[in-house]
Amino acid sequence: MLIQRRIMKFFLLVSIANSEFENRTRLKVKENRMKKYIPTTTFDSTDSCSDGLNAKYCTPPFEDITRVLKKKFEASQTCGIDQSERYCKRENEKWSCKFCDSSQTAQMLPTRHLNDHEKTTDEETCWYSGSVIEPGQQTQIRSESDLEKASTRNVTLKIDFSHPYEISFITMKFCGPVPAAMVIYKSTGNNDEWQPYQYYADNCLETFGIEPNEEITRLNQEKALCSERYSKNKEGTRVSFNTVNNRGDSSVSPVVQNWMTAQAIKIELLKPSIWPVDNNGLKTPSSTLVASYQYAISDIRVSGHCQCNGHADSCEIIDGQPKCICKHGTVGATCNMCHSFYQDRPWQRGTKANPNECRVCNCNLHTNKCKFNDSLFKMSGNQSGGMCQKCRHNTSGASCQVCKPGYTPDPNKSVDSPKYCKKIPSPEIPSPSCANMCKKHDSISLPPKEYCKKTMILKIDVKSRKTVRGKYVVYIVNIQKVYRPKKSRKSTNSRNKNPFILSSKESRSTRKKHTATSSNSPPHITKGKWEIWQNKKYAKCGCPKLRVKKTYLLLGKHKSVRHARNGSRRKFKIDRHSNSLLWRDQFDSNLKSIEALNREKKTC
Ligand SMILES: [Ca+2]
């Protein structure tokens, strides 16, 4: 009893193990099919764009964009670019004047100094604009008030990131006083349209007609403000523009995201500042007035996140071009489109409140192509608008969920199985082409005339059947008895085979003809193993009918098989007028009688 129980337990374990193995195999097969049909831009628990199950708002890390991209600023003018030029600066209450000259390495003050990221003040490298007063007016400047009245050229600095970034900070470290007026602009595209980002002035209302430090509300979240913050604190100052200050969270508000997004930055320097009096209350000496009245900046940093619309957590620089590594079923330079198989709802920017991931089309693993259909989306109450394309496995419908006409769902298969739709069997209608193919008999009468026409009357056992390439079915048979043809009394090698040719020497052409006739003439059938070849369409219509493992009386005319290149030469072909009758022992005595009668009357 105990042994019986143990054996039962063993079988039970084996069967459980087997079913687990089958389940695992089935899952693996399904997973492989999923891979084939669903692109790999799906959720992955190893990144910050998903919690393993659901999509999550994500963004590439905060970075110093000017440092990462290694792009240079472009300046509308630079000190010493055309000719050697004088510039003056005050350091530790002492004035020093030097010459800038772009043709002399030691005297260059180029734009690359704007983002060469020196670490200490001692190593400070500056870009200088050169004088902004027209050369003709420069000689007339004798006092600070002359400088105030002089007309000046605007100087612009531009940098293009060639990819949108969500800018958080723009900081500028000046080598001289902060300008009396300047504007930071941003551009979101390549069309050179600039939108004011921030104004700075000693007097905002007077310079720009804008009240300083307006309050930001929901109504003016994208309005550039004007700051007078640096009007009194000018020397050695780092100007810092925090783009999102008091404007809200970009990961929540698309308006703030728009506000932060820029592909290029332009700084327009509109009016320089006169150096403020030094700690001893001394003004700028008149000899340095013109040469010190220009712009000088040691560092500009633009920091933020590579713009991937909340659908990527990394942005790689490929050939100097930033590119989002998109997740959430999105594609595009800024993950700004849904992948061709994630078309179940329209693309949307991701936010913290809603990651708005692109949703995969449900095509039940029958296709990897789908399109968004707006009316379908609206009909579903904005839930699902993916219209599957080119459904395979005999399916159709928006989700490849129904069977094509002529096919019906298999209740034992799931809708995502490739065998879900099975063909509806059509009732068998006898082929009209068989109707007049041959006459079928249950019995055959053999009057002498009919008997003589037969080139074969055989008792055969059908051993097996095969279909050869082309149009024939081949039966391997064992011929048990040959009633016709009787053994030939003529020698097959006889030269006198054709009694009408009496020549002692055959011509070559005649010999050729004989050989051809000989190879095409039907073989002499003897007992034993043979191949019987039957045209496939005659076999289909049972003209005549031959079944494996049955014994027949086979009567009719036989022909040679031309395909005699391979295998045995013991083969012949039967035509559609041949007849087969299931063997009955009585046939043997009947045939012997018929043969004797015909021999006696010499009918054949
Ligand atoms: Ca520098």
Q: For residue 40, give the CATH number of its domain.
A: 2.10.25.10
Q: Where do the H-state alpha helices sit in 216-352?
A: 254-260, 289-292
| Residue 509 falls inside a structural domain | no
Region 419-423: what's the mean pLDDT? 94
The pLDDT of residue 10 is 34
Token pair for residue 102? Answer: 């772009």
In a shared domain, residues 385 and 466 = no
CA of 298 to the centre of ligand 1 (A): 4
Q: Which domain holds residue 185?
A: 66-306
Same-domain check for residues 323 and 257: no
pLDDT range class, residue 550, cuts 50, 70, 90? very high
Residues 6+ apart with CB under 8 A from 507: none
Share of the chain above pLDDT 70, in %: 84
Closest to 598 measured CA to CA, from 484, 476, 427, 495: 484
Answer whether residue 118 is part of any domain. Answer: yes
In a domain, 213, yes or no: yes
CATH value at residue 172: 2.60.120.260
Residue pLDDT, tens place only, 347-362: 999 988 899 999 999 9
Kindly give the distance from the C-alpha atom of residue 123 to the centroid of ligand 1, in angstroms, as a whole number: 8
Q: Number of folded domains in the chain?
A: 4
Instruction: Give the Cα separation of 14 and 492 in Å (integer).
Output: 69
pLDDT at 3 over 70: no
Are residue 133 and residue 257 in the same domain, yes or no?
Answer: yes
In the block, tokens 């936010």 appear at 351
The reply to whether 405 and 379 lie within a common domain is: yes
106 vs 507: CA distance, rounded Å:
111
125 CA to centre of ligand 1 in angstroms: 4
DSSP lists the bridge partners of residue 268 as: 156, 183
pLDDT at residue number 574: 94
Q: Do 115 and 229 fall into the same domain?
A: yes
Phi, psi of 403 (to 5 degrees): -90, 145
Q: Mean pLDDT, to the nearest integer, of 443-468? A: 89
> Residue 449 sits in a domain of what CATH number?
2.40.50.120
* pLDDT per residue as tens digits for the range 68-107: 898 899 999 999 999 999 999 998 889 999 999 999 999 9
Q: How far is the CA of 288 from the centre of ligand 1 (A)?
A: 23
The encoded tokens of residue 524 equal 């002499």
Cα 121 to ligand 1 centre (Å):
9
Residues 196 and 283 in one domain: yes
- Distance (Å) from CA 112 to ligand 1 centroid: 7
Ligand 1 geometric centre to CA of 290 (Å): 23
Mean pLDDT of the chain: 84
**Cα 320 to middle of ligand 1, angstroms:** 22
Q: Are residues 379 and 315 in the same domain?
A: no
Query: pLDDT per residue over 195-228, tens digit each?
Result: 999 999 999 999 999 999 888 888 888 899 999 9
Please tell me the predicted confidence (pLDDT) of residue 234: 85
pLDDT given at position 502: 41
On whether residue 17 sits in a domain, the answer given is no
119 alpha carbon – ligand 1 mean position (Å): 9
pLDDT of residue 21: 45
**8 Å CB contact between 149 and 171:** no
Ligand 1 geometric centre to CA of 446 (Å): 118
Could you report the per-residue pLDDT of 513-531, keeping only the tens digit for each?
A: 444 444 567 888 999 999 9
pLDDT score recorded for residue 217: 85
CA of 533 to the centre of ligand 1 (A): 95
Instruction: Give the pLDDT of residue 2.
Output: 45
Give, for 487, the enclosing helix (H) or strand (E): none
Tell how far the Cα of 67 is from the centroid of ligand 1, in angstroms: 12
What spacing in Å lies between the alpha carbon of 296 and ligand 1's midpoint? 10
Q: Which residues contact 480 (CB under 8 A, 6 or more apart)?
A: 459, 460, 461, 527, 551
Whether 26 is covered by a domain: the verdict is no
Q: What residues are paired with 338 via a beta bridge?
A: 330
| CA of 72 relative to ligand 1 center, distance in Å | 12
Sole residue written with tokens 């019906």? 408
pLDDT tens profile 392-414: 999 999 999 999 999 999 999 99
CA of 289 to the centre of ligand 1 (A): 24
What is residue 497's predicted lDDT score, i.e. its pLDDT? 45
Q: Above 50 in pLDDT, residue 508?
A: no
Residues 299 and 417 in one domain: no
Is pLDDT of 7 > 50?
no
Concatenated DSSP letters of 267-285:
EEEEE--PPPP-TT-----
> Is 515 inside any structural domain?
no
Q: Report how far ligand 1's centroid is from the alpha carbon of 129 (Å).
A: 14
First and final CA of the chain: distance in angstroms?
Answer: 82
Helix or strand or coil: residue 42? Answer: coil
Q: How far is the CA of 173 from the centre of ligand 1 (A)?
A: 9
Q: Residue 324, exposed/middle/buried by CB under 10 A (0-12, 13-18, 19+)?
A: buried
Residues 319-331 pLDDT 10s? 888 999 999 999 9
Task: Decide if 415 is inside a domain.
Answer: yes
Least confident of 6-15, 192-201, 300-309, 371-380: 6-15
pLDDT higher than 60, residue 506:
no
d(CA 596, CA 445): 16
Quote the ligand 1 centre to 65 CA distance (angstroms): 15
Q: Rounded to the nearest whole angstrom, what is the distance from the C-alpha of residue 410 to the centroid of ligand 1?
A: 74
Of 163, 148, 139, the closest CA to residue 202 belongs to 148
Residue 170 placed within a domain: yes
The answer on 301 and 326 residing in a single domain is no
298 and 323 housed in the same domain: no
Six-digit token string for 180? 């009396």
Helix (H) or strand (E) run with residue 563 in it: none
Instruction: Please check whether residues 455 and 480 belong to one and the same domain.
Output: yes
Parallel, antiparallel, or unpaired: how do β-strands 402-403 and 407-409 relate? unpaired
In the prediction, which pLDDT does 430 show? 58
Q: Mean pLDDT lowest for which of 36-50, 133-147, 290-304, 410-424?
A: 36-50
> What is the per-residue pLDDT across 465-475, written as a single tens digit (0 to 9) for each?
987 767 889 99
Distance 287 CA to ligand 1 centre (A): 27
What is the whole-number distance in angstroms between the Cα of residue 286 and the centre of ligand 1? 28
Give me ligand 1 centre to Cα 241, in Å: 19
Q: How far, in Å, is the centroid of ligand 1 from the Cα of 175?
A: 9
Q: Are residues 138 and 225 in the same domain?
A: yes
Assign 38 a pLDDT band (cuts: 50, 70, 90). Answer: low
